[in-house]
Amino acid sequence: MWRFLTRNKQVAAMMGLLTVAALVVVVMTTKGSEGGHAAANDEEPEDINNDPKVFSTFRLPTNDRFMASIGNGHVAANVFSDTVYMNGLYNGNKGESHRARIPNWANIRLNSTLSHIPYSPVYSLDTKEGAFKVRVDRERSIVTQRIFAHRYYTRAIINQIQVMAKAHAEPNFVRHEIWIAIQLIPGPDSEDIGFKDPVPEIIEGRTVRSTCGQTLKSEDIVYQPLPVEVCVFWTSVPDHLVAPQHGSRVFTFVMTADTNRTVAREEMIRVLQEDGEELYDKHVAEWQKLHQQAHIEIEGNLKVAKVVNAIWYYFLSSLPSEDSHQPLGRFYGLSPTGLARGGTLEDYEGHNFWDTEIWMFPSILLLYPKYAEKLLQYRLDVAYVAAQLAKVTGHKGYRFPWESAYTGVEVTQPCCPEVAEYEQHITACISFAVRQYLATTRNEEWLKHGGCDIVTNIADFWASRAVINYNTGLYDIENVMGPDEDHSNINNSAFTNVVAGYSLYLAQYVSCLCKSYYSVEDPDHWADIAWSLYLPYDEKNDYHPQYEGYVRGESIKQADAVLLGYPLLYKMNTTTRKNDIDYYESVTRKSGPAMTWSMHAIGYLDVEDKAKAAAMFSESYQKYVREPFKVWSELQSPQVGAVNFFTGMGGFLQTLIFGYAGIRIHLDRIEIIRPQLPPETKEFKIKGIKYLGSSLSMHIQATSVTLTVSSVHDQWPLVMNDGRYNVTLTPGMTVTLPKDGISTIRAVPWKDCKLPADIIGQNYLRPIGS
């Protein structure tokens, strides 16, 4: 019935005359299918806007999982949904832990009579301003609704309804006030939080209701002995608004939420004291600051440009504001579907996986390193829990769980014990993210405040996991699962062993960096183990089998061994790299996630096969991006899976930044290798690349590539080598980069510490000093 009314608005209008209009909210309340399969009649309306930063449509998607979201890193919601989620707010014990639902007391709908013919609404997601907008052009007025999670008043979700009266052709025409019918639809009571009955009060002349409640189930009684309290305030919403017959008026409605009642109430007071337009301008200004720091521009390919802008909008909506009216609390990480989702298993319940460090982290690090540090801080905050997990499983150091949320304990669903038991590579992936962070920031303070500790303890874990095989002279890591989850309880996973080896080598390197304030007894023993870790390699076929005993021809779920070439940058012959990507492309099932094809695109760029790279680039996003709001699904259309899939987004961004732009991060330098335009584009710009405190921008065109220097850190002056000359980079300088070669940018060495060997698979003693 709902879908029938949605498609037959004239019939809906006639029914509205016979029923109470307030009950008919058809156009703005479409329900879509749930689960991994899309309904046969799912529709993705066209994006009608030519602005690369604004996505507009006359109709909403029939599957409401494809709706846009709003957020500010503290609170987030899908537009027109009955749910608000808050950073760090979970309910459920261990594997049943999930984001706790707060009823959406900010879910205000314009009455459906506004959207009946001839009043066709236009729905827009404005990524420039960080707001969702609904515009209705009526006979006597233009009504615009703005919905946004305020970027400065971070506890607040705000609805603003602007009513602008139209001038009449007859100046003496008698006009009446303009009435606009609206509804507040917060949805049912929360099943996660025991909210008390709302209490009304008058704040700044407005009726405001508030309620507090506690989560019903602790995630872990040891690490969370008490429930978490959350308090919510919201302004009363009438059933209609009355606007003057002349001019314009903005009506503002506010919802605030926090674990501290005083904070939520003070935020409400301050927001209500603001002028409506100034309140919105302050929000937009914070979004513009982010854009000024860094962004990516694509010219000549509107679809790709929109996809890129959508990704950064959704990422930043789930990351905390840099400037907030009230101090922000602890940040609980970036989950595969962001802050606006995560109440169900299909949307990964708001948990943190390896997805953060391998798929989302690299692009965020290069453009927004402060956010990268916050992602690592989440791991530092729960490191003591990782120490306990290592201990109870019979190992040393830190073992991070496959899924974590509020406390840092393992919260993998009871359905999937294999991934929790075997997919231990997440611990090494965290160390790899630390490696990249240190390479691009050289943040000594971070090392002093937990960095040295997490790196060396992760190395201790892998040292305790590796067992010498006296028949081969190599160390084995047994009983694991690589990224390919179709194969569990395997031995010597190629990906796991290489990234574990990197974590051992990094500990040796970091122990030197930290030696003046952090003591390590024998750092070289980590490198000795790494040097002799087993590396699967088939000499006859010149490729890396995915694990010891892998049978050639077996299908796999997703990118696994191909990750050795990128992002791990493991040294190998070009022929081996090509054979890896050619072979694994042929055996990877097509139903796999998007980032698999992103990694193959980068691989083909590495071996200079532009045609295959272009095909993989297209494969990495075309069937995963859902219109009109550029929401990503985990699976290719018509399948759905998780929504909005940040992991696939992260892989796509890496194809652009580390593939087509050719950027590579090393411990002592960055390289720019054969930078080129993505398919069907005319210009490609990356503005605000952060390296050792400097800010750089790349501009790639068909015939030229330039690098512009915005700023250089005094402590780390940079020198670029373009293959022929060394050039000292200074602010304001623009240099031309070779299109077919390698440019290297480096600073003076960081202390007198030898770089790690980063080689595994050697069954003889590691040479002294390597």
Bridge partners of 701, per DSSP, are 683
Residues 6+ apart with CB under 8 A from 527: 504, 505, 508, 756, 757, 766, 770
The torsion defined by the Cα of 562, 564, 570 and 571, in degrees rounded to 10, comes to: -30
For the chain, state the CA radius of gyration. Answer: 27
Residue 689 · residue 700 · CB < 8 Å = no
The torsion defined by the Cα of 312, 314, 315 and 316, in degrees rounded to 10, comes to: 80
In 491-640, where do the E strands start and end? 625-626, 631-632
How far apart (Å, rounded) are the C-alpha atoms in residues 596 and 751? Answer: 38
Determine the Cα angle at 712 with ends 710 and 716, to 5°: 160
How far apart (Å, rounded) are the C-alpha atoms in residues 637 and 38? Answer: 8
Please state whether the peptide bond connecting residue 567 to the residue before it is cis, i.e. omega within 30 degrees of 0.
yes
How far apart (Å, rounded) are the C-alpha atoms in residues 427 and 413? Answer: 19
φ/ψ (deg, to 5) at 275? -65, 145
Give the H or E element holding residue 615.
Answer: helix 610-619
* Tally of helices (H runs) and strands (E runs) in the chain: 19, 33
Give the H or E element holding residue 256.
Answer: strand 248-258
**What size, in residues, is the chain?**
770
Residues 6+ apart with CB under 8 A from 60: 27, 28, 30, 45, 67, 80, 123
Secondary structure of 95-143 in the HEC alphabet?
HHCEECCEECCCCEEECHHHHCCCCCCEEEEECCCCEEEEEEECCCEEE
Bridge partners of 86, per DSSP, are 75
Sequence letter at residue 743: S
Buried b or exposed e, range 18-39, using 16+ CB within 10 angstroms: eeebbebbbbbbbebbeeeebb
Neighbours of 40 (CB within 10 A): 7
Residue 523 · residue 463 · CB < 8 Å = no
Q: Which of 485, 548, 627, 671 is catalytic?
A: 485
Sequence letter at residue 552: R
How far apart (Å, rounded) are the C-alpha atoms in residues 461 and 292? Answer: 41
Among all chains, which residue has been given the structure tokens 């949605």?
Answer: 6
Conformation bin of residue 699: beta by default, left when phi > 0, alpha when psi is -120 to 50: beta
* Among the listed residues 543, 126, 588, the one whose alpha carbon sits nearest the alpha carbon of residue 317: 126
Neighbours of 710 (CB within 10 A): 14
Q: Name the H helices within 393-493.
A: 417-422, 425-441, 444-446, 452-465
Give yes or no: 485 in active site.
yes
Q: Name the H helices within 251-332.
A: 261-273, 276-293, 302-317
To 10 degrees, what angle do helices 425-441 and 452-465 make?
150
Give the H or E element holding residue 248.
Answer: strand 248-258
Give yes or no: 357 in active site.
no
How far apart (Å, rounded) are the C-alpha atoms in residues 323 and 224? Answer: 29
Q: Which of 267, 286, 357, 634 is catalytic?
A: 634
Catalytic residues: 485, 634
